[in-house]
Amino acid sequence: MMISINGEKFNRLVTALRYIYGIVPIVIGVDKFFNYIVDWNIYVSPFVLTSLPLFLAMRFVIIVGLVEIVAGCIILNNKWTQFGAYLVAAWIGLVIVNLFMIGGMYDIILRDVAIAVGYITLGMLAELKETSKTANF
């Protein structure tokens, strides 16, 4: 099926999503150092902590924050948006598994599923933008 898309509007849409989906992991990642938004340690399952060597377990939330900051920066890079979006979607998948291991956080799990779908959608839109030959982007 062939559809016509206004290239300027499409670019604005992708750019807006790239910024919001890039900045949010950076902000959340930085907060892992300060716990201003929330104490992030409550979202780490005991199974994960006991599976890690002690020196990593003690710094696990900080390491997660660094990963999130890097992932957000990758998404903000126009050439790497697609890769970064899929990377964060996979990362959120791991977060969901971790939350299931904690138990009782089903509201957060459902929210994270929706957020992961948003990242996948951004990845698909970035791919469409790159591969489109018919539209003037």
Residue 58, judged by CB atoms within 10 A of its CB (0-12, 13-18, 19+), counts as exposed
Domain ranges in the chain are 7-131
C-alpha to C-alpha distance for 18 and 8, rounded to whole angstroms: 15
Q: What is the mean pLDDT of the chain?
A: 91
pLDDT exceeds cutoff 90 at 1: no
Token output for 35: 């716990």
* Residue 105, pLDDT score: 93
**Tens digits of per-residue pLDDT, 65-122?**
999 999 999 999 999 999 999 999 999 999 999 999 999 999 999 999 999 999 999 9
Number of other CB atoms surrounding residue 125 within 10 Å: 18
The torsion region of residue 103 among left (phi > 0), alpha (psi -120 to 50) and beta comes to left
DSSP-assigned states of every residue in 55-104: HHHTTHHHHHHHHHHHHHHHHHSTTTHHHHHHHHHHHHHHHHHHHHHH-S
**Tens digits of per-residue pLDDT, 25-64?**
999 999 999 999 999 999 999 998 899 898 888 899 999 9
